A and B are shown apart, each in its own frame.
Chain A
Amino acid sequence: MFSWQRVGALILRHLYVLRSSWPRILELAYWPVMQMVLWGFITTFFLQHSSWVAQAAGVLVSAVLLWDVLFRANLGVAIPFLEEVWSRNLGQLFISPLRPSEFIASLLIISVLRTTVAIMPAALLSFPLYDVWVFSLGLPLVAFYANLLIMGAAVGLAVSAIVLRHGVGAENLAWFAIFVVAPFSGIYYPVSTLPVWLQPVAWAMPSSYVFEGMRAVLFRNEFPVDLFVWSVALNAVYIVFASVFFLYMFRVARIRGLLLQQGE
């Protein structure tokens, strides 16, 4: 016989999981809010600039590809870290002579490799499918790519540090934390589309300079060096902060005895 008590028991089991992990509760509300904010700004911009896309064929495709560089670079750090957590290998690693700084370096390098492998097929496919050859951006593409890689990796490293401290309950941050920056990075619309009070938030992110730079190359065929310099400078701050944050959380994990407890 069907038992509502057993159904209730399992509901309670999942409520216990939610109650024990603030990132899981945050995630419930996160996606609807994020989608609404992002597509709201896109709609606002296109209502006011209906001929914008026609001025630069491929600007949206290029934006999608570059956004994915940021997203994949974040995952490129966070997923290999989570693999060590899921396999309960962190304790093993850190009783070997591996230093935390070496661990960070390995995650960053893996991120570059994973992102390049992930992006290349999409970048090549965009030509036969949409007649958009993203490599026509030329050398600026390398600058955009490198900056987005570093920013994505910095976010992934910060997320990994939070998982190190809070355990697998925080693992979903790996997928959704990076989307916090999406509405404010001017991926599909200029930063000027944002309300004035939000624009300083956008200019605090290296990604905003990259996407503005991309549009400058596509629309005006010029590479804005000042935007590039700002992006590099902010990225230097981001990656240093993320590394220091990870090292701090590693020390917290050593104080709290978390390195031998990580796992599902």
Chain B
Amino acid sequence: MPSSPASPASPVIRAEGLTKRFGDIVAVDAVDFSVPRGITLGLLGGNGAGKTTTLAMVLGLLLPTSGTVTVFGQNMAGHRERVLPRMNFSSPYVNLPRRLTVRENLTVYALLYGLDNRQARILRISEALDVRPFLNRPTGSLSAGQITRVSLAKALINEPELLLLDEPTASLDPDAADWIRAHLDSYRRTSGATIVLASHNMAEVERLCDQVLIMREGAIVASGAPADLIARYGRETLEDVFLDIARGRRDRGAVPGQ
């Protein structure tokens, strides 16, 4: 794997003037942000705010109309293959082949990431995510909660330094969602990984995230630590802050550009 030019102090992700247009629609509008190493960043916003589009550009699956996004110092529009082995992604909107067993799916992805000791690694991650009881079952036969755990197992198979998650607990019952959050928190603490989490669940973001970016109509309209945002807007919860922003109410000491 080529070495990254980024130093340990460099941000893991840096977006500069990142813009995506689909015809006349501006999905992401010249956003600038950087994500320091080792934090969990929450990407918040209503439907169509530009969160998934931003994540797709960070992954290099989508090419920006203008601006750049670098990950570990590499431009994702042109050199994504240099850093993809160090990152991973999970989303309820992309699936694993349903006819393959869980073990087969994880084996395929372990091979794609060029990992050694694949079966031992699969067993280890299966234990950690409580996937082992259905390791030999077709993925399509599992419940939503089980599929989410398998998807997370795939996302952690290469022990990524950068983990991107799009609504990781969508459609899960509260118990299963809480279990996933606890595991993500544990992974971040033990591995020192950086996590970027797009979510609509404010309680989840408050619990997991050190920093949040709130997007509306493709732009970043607020950013900061959850507690700071709550204080800045004079609210009780992040959900109240989110509603203020979604409905166009300004914070008490709004800083232009944030």
Contact = CB atoms under 8 A, between A and B. Distances in A.
Interface residues of B, number: 29
Given A254-B63, A257-B53, A260-B52, A99 B97 contact: no
Interface in A97-138: 97-99
B211 interface: no
Interface residues of A, number: 23
Contact of A95 (B84, B96, B98, B99): B84
Contacts of A84: 97
Given A96-B112, A97-B112, A97-B114, A87 B22 contact: no
Contact of A94 (B61, B88, B96): B61
A92 B84 CA distance: 12
B59 interface: yes
B113 A257 contact: no
B70 to A, nearest CB: 17
B112 A254 contact: no
Given A97-B112, A257-B53, A92 B94 contact: yes
Contacts of A87: 95-99
A210 to B, nearest CB: 35
A155 to B, nearest CB: 25
Interface in B78-126: 81, 84-85, 87-89, 91, 93-99, 109, 112-114
B96 A254 contact: no
A84 B112 CA distance: 15
Interface string A18-40: 00000000000000000000000
Contact of A257 (B22, B88, B112, B114): B22
B191 to A, nearest CB: 19
B9 to A, nearest CB: 26
B56 A257 contact: yes
B113 A96 contact: yes
A93 B112 contact: yes
Contact of A88 (B53, B61, B62, B95): B95
Interface in B1-53: 20, 22, 52-53
B63 A89 contact: no
A260 B84 contact: no
Interface string A221-264: 00000000000000000000000000000010011110110010
A94 B154 CA distance: 14
Nearest to B99: A87
B62 A89 contact: no
A83 B97 CA distance: 8
A99 B60 CA distance: 12
A257 B84 contact: no
A95 B95 contact: no
A256 to B, nearest CB: 7
A200 interface: no
B190 to A, nearest CB: 23
B78 to A, nearest CB: 11
A212 to B, nearest CB: 42
Contacts of A88: 93-95
Interface in B125-146: none
A92 B113 CA distance: 12
A89 B61 contact: no
B81 A89 contact: no
A88 B60 CA distance: 18
B20 to A, nearest CB: 8
A97 B59 contact: no
B97 A256 contact: no
Given A98-B112, A254-B63, A92 B154 contact: yes
Given A95-B60, A95-B88, A96-B112, 11 more contacts: A83-B97, A88-B95, A89-B94, A92-B89, A94-B61, A97-B112, A97-B114, A254-B60, A257-B61, A259-B61, A259-B62
13 contacts: A84-B97, A91-B94, A92-B154, A95-B59, A95-B60, A96-B109, A97-B112, A255-B63, A257-B20, A257-B62, A259-B62, A260-B52, A260-B94
